[in-house]
Each structure stands twice: as structure tokens, then as C-alpha cells.
Amino acid sequence: MGAMKETLGFQTEVRQLLQLMIHSLYSNREIFLRELVSNASDACDKLRYEALDKPELYEGDGELQIRVDFDPQARTLTISDNGIGLSRDEAIEHLGTIAKSGTREFFGRLSGDEARDAQLIGQFGVGFYSAFIVADRVAVVSRRAGLPADQAVRWESDGSGEFSVETVEKPGRGTDVILHLRADEAGGDGETFGELLSGWRLKSIVTKYSDHISLPIRMRREEWDKDKGEYRRLDDWETVNQASALWTRSRSEITDEQYKAFWSHLSHDGTEPLAWTHNRVEGRAEYTQLLYLPAKAPFDLMDRQRRAGLKLYVRRVFIMDDAEQLLPAYLRFVRGVVDSNDLPLNVSREILQESRDVKAIREGCARRVLGMLEDLAENQPEKYAGFWSEFGQVLKEGMGEDFGNRERIAKLLRFASTQSEGDAQTVSLADYLGRMKEGQEKIYYLTADSLQAARSSPHLEVFRSKGVEVLLLTDRVDEWMLSFLDAHEGKELVSVARGGLELGKLEDEEEKKQAEQVAQDHRELTEKVKAELGDAVKEVRVTNRLTDSASCLVSDEGDISGHLERLLKQAGQKAPPRKPILELNPQHPIVARLKDQIRRGEDGQAGDWSRLLLDQAQLAEGGQLEDPAGFVQRLNRMLLSISPPAA
Ligand SMILES: Nc1ncnc2c1ncn2[C@@H]1O[C@H](COP(=O)(O)OP(=O)(O)OP(=O)(O)O)[C@@H](O)[C@H]1O
């Protein structure tokens, strides 16, 4: 019952993808050939890998190759490979669904705006389904290596909603993808589908996109027929690409266009790479690395299941995709190839984890990537800014992950600050050091839930008045990162919301004495407020931190910050108990009045006022009140007592 034909429906996402792709990629239709050749090449790589253990899979045909052929009469274009092939089940699974992680999220982000979606789809990578850009019917005839000739599969679809599969015969292993070209109609580039049925045209597309493929891509040789005035196709096949893997060639022989084409092959990404580095490394570990920085974060960068890592080859033989051991996790946005001369061909993921060669490669790759970033930061700051906004959050993880390179990573960090404008993180630690005030000994920072909350934080008031810059940190990883960044270039980093205000030499002796005097003068007030607030605060004191606000909260040395406490709570984790210190601005009229009332013994409302000062401080740092209803009642009570309604 092998020949049984069945009809199946595409996964919803495939249907959506097909719909969208046919419309939005219309103007860049030639990429279908890149995708199909790329799949054919992957299929050959997989066969070569499986055959390491099972050489019989070659069935006497070890010369792996890709063929591109066309038939003008039938209006078909065929891409064939003698790679691993597909079984019937695999065809159903791989050519009817999308297995990529983040698929659902991707579809959720589509807007219905064709131009925007077209860009997104370029990022998503359309793969096999791009065949339907040019074809209104696609057949895939394939036999999995190792299966008998009568166990091949024929998959066919018109791309609307269903596909059929039936078991057929195929003597040679591997896959033929047969495209029935759409009826003629000029595309965005003025080319008709029929014009693809030309050896010259196909060759030019192959060289443009697939020259770097390491296997031979073959087409029928053509000869000029003088009498007929056209090309005549012969029966022998010629190789139309260079057929040597790009990374094995020397840098000087590779054009930027070729590097970019290889990037598209690696990433299936429509965007251009930001930068790349290509080196042959010799020494204890010998390998070639070709590493790319993407310009755009993939839509699933934050997806923990996401595949990441480099393609690993051993002496030109493809071993695996996404070998994450070849790069530290904080560089997981880098894509590329490592071709090792030392590893065994049968290397597995488990072996990779323990191998000392792999450790050397990982360190070598990390150094190269950091070098590439330093170069961008130094010489192409705009590109670096683009990189930072896409991947800065991930790079920050390196502060905790890569001790050996911590200094280098710290120099690559960029921050928002009281001197920067807008949301962009543009200030480096070097910029900050260069702008330090005379007598300033420390690097000041503030962490907050949002940039807006940071910018309006009362903690900044004294720094503003003294013209001292403060770094504003609002990313989720920042608190964690800061625990690995306590100093830079010998300057300590301190939070403006923790401990006593450490202005150092920014404050002269006179000011210090004055501050002590002020504290003395307000002892009665601070003691009373502390008594009213009881356990809600650790301490109450007056401060010279504030110029406009009445009060603020600070964390004691060694306690976690309010910001981190909120982050932990949001994440459903238990925060260590923390009691904030309430600081009062002695210059503020409310504080002055309360002091006065207490001095005169008219302190009937001191409890309400104390509470209000605490609540205000809580709100100003972006916190939430524990008892919002109580706050409202208290406030109303106080408002009424200040201005009684007119009789
Ligand atoms: N020529 C082929 N030979 C064998 N299997 C193939 C071939 N073309 C496609 N496939 C199978 O179909 C799957 C889907 O292909 P498709 O191009 O859509 O996505 P992909 O290659 O997995 O992802 P991406 O294109 O993002 O790398 C492949 O993973 C592979 O298993």
C-alpha cells in the first residue's frame, strides 16, 4: 500500500506565511533560488555528516552536488541535490510546518502593513516556502539516503492550503524540487517569470547569491547556435560557482558582496550584516573563524529556547549548526562559522562541552568579537550605537560571565545619563571620566524602573545643582551587572540612592560643618518622625541631597536598592528584607513647618505629616504604596484641616 496518496493541510502559520510572502517578496523574487540552493547544500552537509559513521549511505555516489535545470516547454525549473533526502514522514513534517522557535511570536508581530511585514519576513527567513514566490505549483520528489528506491516520496502543493504526499520510486537518493512557474506577468523589477527560464539568467543569480557554497552547483553547458541565433543546451554539466567554501579562501580574494551573500546564507536574513571578521588562527588550536555581527536583533533574541551559536565544521566537513559552546552566551547574537583542524570528526555536543580545544576556540572567538566591537566603537560610532541599541542588554551579561574580559566589556558599555538626551544610551565610562568635576572622586549612578522615573528622581537634585553627571540605569540586567562593576579606572561606582551622600571633595569643609549643624538642629524633628513611622523605616535623617523635593528614600550600605526590590517582586521572587532610610530636606517648607510645629508642641498631626513624607518619597522613586486607600484618606484629612470649607 506504499503508493497511498494523502492530502494534508498546512499548519496555520505556513498558510499565513505563504499568503504574505507571495505578496511582499514579489519585488525580490530571485531569492527563492538562494533559499533552495541553500537547503540543497544543507542536505548534502547532513549526508556527509551521517555518512561518517555509515559510509554505505553514499550508495557508491560520493560526489555531492547540486543541479539547476529548466524546461522552457513545461515552464519548470528544477533544483536537485544528492544529499540526505526526505522520508515520507519527514516531508510531511518539514514541508508542512514551521519548526522555528519564536514562530508564534513572529506572527503576532505582523502588522498587516505590507512594507513593514516584508522587512520582518526577511528577518524570519522564508526558506523552502519561497518557492511559491515564483511557482504556482511545487513538487518535491525525494528519497532519504538509506531507504530503498521504491520508498521515495512525492510532495506537491499549489501553496493555497493543502499539500499531497504519495510514495513513489526514485533511483537516486536526494531531492528534486520542481517549480512550475507562474503565468507571465512582470514583477517589481520588470522581469517576467518566464525570463527565469534562461541559463544565463539562472547563472547570474547563482553567482550572485550562492557562489560561496562549497559544493559544485552544476548547470547544463550551453553553446551559441549561429544559425538559429540562440543558445543550444548540451547534455554535459558544468560547474557555475567557485565551489570552495568561502571561509577557506583568503580574505583578499573575497569581495564585500560575497561576504554579504554568505551572511544571507547563514542567517537567512534579509538585512545586511553590521560587520564581520575572518581569520585563520594558528597556534595551540588551529581553526578558521568567520564571525558576523548582525545589524538587527532577531525577533526572538530574548527567547531562551532560541537556537544560537556558530556552525561548526571540522576540516571542511559540516558537523553541526548552532554549536553554542563556541561562543560565550553573552555573545549569542554573533553568527558565523568555525572550521577546526583539531577536533575529531565524530565530535558530539557533549564532547564539545569538555574539550580544551573548544575552550581555546571560544576564548579566541570572544576576543575577536570584542575586538570587532572596539573597532566599531572607535571608528564607526554610529554603527556602534546601532549595535548597542539592539544588543547592549545582552553584552552587559558579559560583565558577570567573562571575568577575563571584564575591563574590555566595561569600556564597551553605554549609558543614559543626566547629560545625555532622549532615551538612547550613548555615554561611555570614558566620556563620564572625561567630564568629571574637579574634586569628584566617584562615578555616580542611579537605577530606576524607567528613564522617566530616573530623570525626575529627587536623588539627582544635589548633583544637578553641583553640575555633576549621574549615569541612569534602567535595564533589567543593570542591577545584576552593577554587582560586577564596582570600579572603573580606579574610580569607585556609587549609587546616589544608597548610604550617606558621598560627595567627597565636591563638598568643602564649610559645607560639611554646616551639614553637621543642620543635623543637630533637626534632631528633635527626625526623632519624632522616626517615632511616628516606627518600623517602616530604619532611620530618619536630614540631607543635603535634596533641593526641590521634601523627602527621599535611600538604601543603607549593603542593602538592596528599592529598584532591585521591585524587580525581584515582579519576578515573583522573595526580596531580602530591607528597611529604607528616610531623608528629609531641611530647606523644604513642609519639613520646616513640621519642625516648627514639633518645637511648639503643636504636633497633633505629626503622624499624618510623617506618613505623607514617607509616601511621597516612595512614589517619587517609582514605588507603590502599601496602603493607597490610607494615603488618600490621610491626604484628604490634611487638605481639609489646612483650608476649612467656607461657611
Ligand atoms: N533539499 C532538501 N533536502 C532535504 N531536506 C530538505 C531540503 N529542503 C528542505 N528540507 C527540509 O525541510 C526543512 C524546512 O526547510 P526550510 O528551508 O523551510 O527551513 P530551514 O532550512 O529549516 O530553516 P532556515 O531556512 O531558516 O534555515 C529543512 O529543515 C529540511 O529538514
Say whether both 251 and 217 belong to one domain: no
Look at 530 and 124; give whichever has higher pLDDT.
Answer: 530
pLDDT tens profile 377-435 = 999 999 999 999 999 999 999 999 999 999 999 999 999 999 998 889 999 999 999 99
What order of strands is seen across the sheet that includes strand 217-225? Answer: 6-9, 162-168, 152-157, 135-143, 174-181, 76-81, 66-71, 217-225, 230-239
Outline where DSSP puts E strands in 298-362: 310-314, 317-323, 335-340
- For range 348-369, the mean pLDDT: 91
**Predicted local confidence at residue 107, as pLDDT:** 76
Pick the range with the lowest mean pLDDT from 99-113, 484-498, 591-605. 99-113
On whether both 217 and 253 belong to a single domain, the answer is no
Q: Whose CA is nearest to atom 9 of ligand 1?
A: 39
Give the annotated binding-site residues: 35, 39, 81, 100-102, 123-128, 175, 349
Question: What atom of ligand 1 comes closest to residue 177's alpha carbon?
Answer: 1
199 and 303 in one domain? no
Ranking 60-74, 148-162, 380-394, 620-634 by mean pLDDT, the lowest is: 620-634
Query: Does the pLDDT of residue 647 top 50, yes or no?
Result: yes
In 3D space, the residue among 160, 127, 123 whose CA is nearest the CA of residue 15 turns out to be: 160
| Side-chain half-sphere exposure of 181, counting CA atoms within 13 A | 26
**What's residue 646's pLDDT?**
65
Whole-number pLDDT of residue 26: 60
Give yes or no for residue 100 having a pLDDT over 80. no
Asked if 257 and 217 sit in the same domain, the reply is: no
In a domain, 402, yes or no: no
Convert the pLDDT of each residue in 184-203 to its tens digit. Answer: 765 556 678 888 999 999 99
- Give the model's pLDDT for residue 106: 75
Q: What is the pLDDT of residue 128?
A: 92
Residue 505 has pLDDT above 90, yes or no: no
CA distances from 13 to 18, 103, 153, 161 (A): 9, 8, 24, 11
What is the Cα–Cα distance from 437 to 386, expressed in whole angstroms?
A: 30
CATH code, domain with 612: 1.20.120.790
pLDDT of 359: 92
Q: Does pLDDT of 306 surpass 80?
A: no
Nearest atom (ligand 1) to Cα of 39:
8
Q: Are residues 276 and 182 in the same domain?
A: no
Residues with CB under 6 A from ligand 1: 39-40, 43, 81, 83-86, 94-95, 125, 127-129, 175, 268
Task: Indicate whether 234 belongs to any domain.
Answer: no
Domain assignment present for residue 403? The answer is no
**Ligand 1 atom nearest to 268, measured from its CA:** 26
Q: 1 pLDDT exceeds 50?
A: no
User: DSSP per residue over 347-413, as a string?
Assistant: --HHHHHH-HHHHHHHHHHHHHHHHHHHHHHHH-HHHHHHHHHHHHHHHHTHHHH-GGGHHHHHHH-
Please determine, for residue 302, whether its predicted confidence score (pLDDT) is greater than 70.
no
Q: Ligand 1 atom closest to Cα of 125?
A: 26
ipTM over 0.90: yes
pLDDT reading at 304 higher than 90? no
What residue's CA is closest to ligand 1, atom 7? 39
Model confidence at 21, pLDDT cuts 50, 70, 90, reads confident
Distance 206 CA to ligand 1 centre (A): 18
Structural domain including 40 reads 3-223
Q: How far is the CA of 55 from the centre of ligand 1 (A)?
A: 23
Query: Above pLDDT 70, what percent of the chain?
Result: 93
Does residue 525 belong to any structural domain of this protein? Answer: yes
Does residue 514 fall inside a structural domain?
yes
**551-574: per-residue pLDDT in tens?**
999 988 878 777 788 778 777 888
Annotated binding site for ATP: 35, 39, 81, 100-102, 123-128, 175, 349
Residue 64 · residue 215 · CB < 8 Å: yes
Q: How far is the CA of 347 from the centre of ligand 1 (A)?
A: 23
pTM for the whole structure = 0.79
Asked if the structure places residue 539 within a domain, the reply is: yes
d(CA 169, CA 157): 19
Residues 188 and 254 in one domain: no
Write down which residue in 324, 345, 379 finishes a domain: 379
Residues 164, 24, single domain; the answer is yes
The domain boundary residue, chosen from 182, 208, 223: 223
Tell whether 188 is covered by a domain.
yes
Structure confidence at residue 22 (pLDDT): 74
Segment 309-330 mean pLDDT: 88
Q: Is 208 in the same domain as 258?
A: no
Residue with CA at minimum distance from ligand 1 atom 4: 85
In angstroms, what is the span from residue 198 Cα to ligand 1's centroid?
A: 26
CATH number, domain of 32, equals 3.30.565.10
Q: Is 196 found in the same domain as 306?
A: no
Q: Is 433 domain-assigned?
A: no
Same domain, 213 and 284: no
End-to-end CA distance of the chain: 98
The best mutation among 86, 94, 179, 300 to test binding of ligand 1, ranked by most ligand atoms within 8 Å of the C-beta, falls on 94
For the domain that residue 265 is a member of, what is the CATH number? 3.30.230.80
Tell whether 144 and 215 lie within a shared domain: yes
CA of 128 to the centre of ligand 1 (A): 6
> Looking at the structure, do residues 203 and 92 belong to the same domain, yes or no?
yes
Mean pLDDT of 587-611: 90
Q: What is the number of the ligand 1 atom nearest to the C-alpha of 98?
A: 18
Q: Residue 315 — very low, low, confident or very high, per pLDDT cuts 50/70/90?
A: confident
User: Which grid cell sits at 569?
Assistant: 517582586
Q: What does the pLDDT read at residue 617?
A: 92
Domain count, the chain: 3
- Mean pLDDT value across the chain: 89
Residue 187 phi/psi, 5-degree rounding, is -90, -170
Q: Which of 324, 352, 379 is the last residue of a domain?
A: 379
